[in-house]
Amino acid sequence: MTQHCHYLSQDREVEIFEHAANNNLPVMIKGPTGCGKTRFVEYMAQKLNRAIYTIACHDDLTATDLVGRHLIGAQGTFWQDGPLTRAVREGGICYLDEVVEARKDTTVVLHPLADHRRILPIERTGEVLNAHPDFMLVISYNPGYQNMLKGLKPSTRQRFVGLTFDYPEPQHEVVIICQESGIDKSLATQLVSLAQALRRLTDHDLEEAASTRLLIYTALMIKSGLEIKQACYACLAQPLTDDSQTQQAIERLIDASF
Ligand code: ADP
């Protein structure tokens, strides 16, 4: 189970998630990286008193990794449940982060779990599991940054209740940064203003905007004694781009802010 975690609500997402959970419906959360999707799911797991099984998806992740596999031990072969199967058997929230990264064969196992059937057929053992009443499937992805081919198919999307996340409103982001890093409000406000300026750059120059996560990293480094501009260079300018001209543009914005 997750440690006690803070989550500052942005809109009606807590209420919507609770309704989905009460109706045994799966949820998909769309939004850019580092904007609070994972934190929200961890918070909801805590609020609903359910275990959470988080799976960070990547392009080698297959249905077998989710469902389980036969392993060879001292006493011969034995079956080991994957994280999805454990959540289905024991109850809990199975959270697939960046689901569009996973191999396409994963949708085959997700579909019957995501609709009214709530079953997980395990091909290799012949079992068909009925999901525990507390089982809930949650997926997240970033519709912005993959190419269209990597998006979710409509037949998958239409099995989920959807929520769209974005970076928190400035006054919320200030509170979050203070809470997560311990820096004072005036400095957090300056960092958020800088982030807003950086986010305006994004459309033409950057693949991804400055996330709340990066602002928290910056704030933590400042809190531990690093000079403000150095923290901004290292935690904002460097991670946002590899292009030296864009990096200089970001550094100029940093210099103008502090
Ligand atoms: P994502 O899953 O969208 O990539 P995370 O949930 O990991 O992003 O968010 C990054 C960090 O930002 C979290 O670790 C948390 O510290 C902070 N954060 C973002 N949004 C919130 C929020 N609404 N309340 C509290 N913390 C937040």
C-alpha–C-alpha distance, residues 45 and 88, integer Å: 15
Among candidate residues 76, 54, 158, 75, the one with its CA nearest the CA of residue 115: 158
Does the interface ipTM go beyond 0.90?
A: yes
* Of 11, 33, 39, best ligand 1 pocket probe by most atoms within 8 Å of the beta carbon: 39
Residue 3's pLDDT band (cuts 50, 70, 90): low
- What's the pLDDT tens digit per position in 82-105? 999 999 999 999 999 988 888 888
* Number of neighbours of residue 214 by Cβ within 10 angstroms: 22
- What's the pLDDT tens digit per position in 21-76? 999 999 999 998 899 999 999 999 999 999 999 999 998 889 999 999 999 999 99
Q: Is the pLDDT of residue 107 over 60?
A: yes
Q: How far is the CA of 257 from the centre of ligand 1 (A)?
A: 24
Give the position, in ligand 1's atom list, of the atom nearest the Cα of 10.
23
pLDDT of residue 101: 84
pTM of the model: 0.91
DSSP code of 4? P
- The one-letter amino acid code at 201 reads L
C-alpha–C-alpha distance, residues 128 and 10, integer Å: 39
Select the CATH number that applies to the domain covering 13-164 from these four: 3.40.190.290, 3.30.565.10, 3.40.50.300, 1.10.3720.10.
3.40.50.300
- The one-letter amino acid code at 125 reads T
Residue 149's pLDDT band (cuts 50, 70, 90): low
User: What residue ranges in the chain does DSSP mark as E strands?
Assistant: 27-30, 52-56, 68-73, 76-81, 92-97, 119-122, 127-130, 135-141, 161-164
Backbone angles phi, psi at 119, to 5 degrees: -125, 155
Identify whether the C-beta of residue 132 lies closer than 8 Å to the C-beta of residue 30: no
Query: In 148-243, where does DSSP find H-type helix?
Result: 154-157, 170-181, 185-205, 212-223, 228-232, 238-240
β-strands 127-130, 119-122 pairing: antiparallel
C-alpha–C-alpha distance, residues 178 and 201, integer Å: 25
Q: What angle do CA 202, 207, 212 make, to 5 degrees?
A: 70
Q: Which residues pair with 136 in a beta bridge?
A: 93
Q: How far is the CA of 45 from the centre of ligand 1 (A)?
A: 15
C-alpha–C-alpha distance, residues 235 and 71, integer Å: 42
C-alpha–C-alpha distance, residues 36 and 34, integer Å: 6
Q: Which residues pair with 139 in a beta bridge?
A: 28, 96
Portion of the chain with pLDDT greater than 70, in percent: 95
Residue 202's pLDDT band (cuts 50, 70, 90): low
Give the position, in ligand 1's atom list, of the atom nearest the Cα of 140.
2
Regarding the beta carbon of 42 and ligand 1, being less than 6 Å apart is answered no
Weakest-pLDDT range from 80-84, 103-107, 234-238: 103-107
Residue 21: which residues within 8 A CB-CB, separation 6 or more? 44, 48, 136
Domain boundaries, the chain: 13-164, 170-257
Residue 145's pLDDT band (cuts 50, 70, 90): low
Helix 185-205 and helix 170-181, axial crossing angle in degrees, nearest 10: 120
- The one-letter amino acid code at 230 reads Q
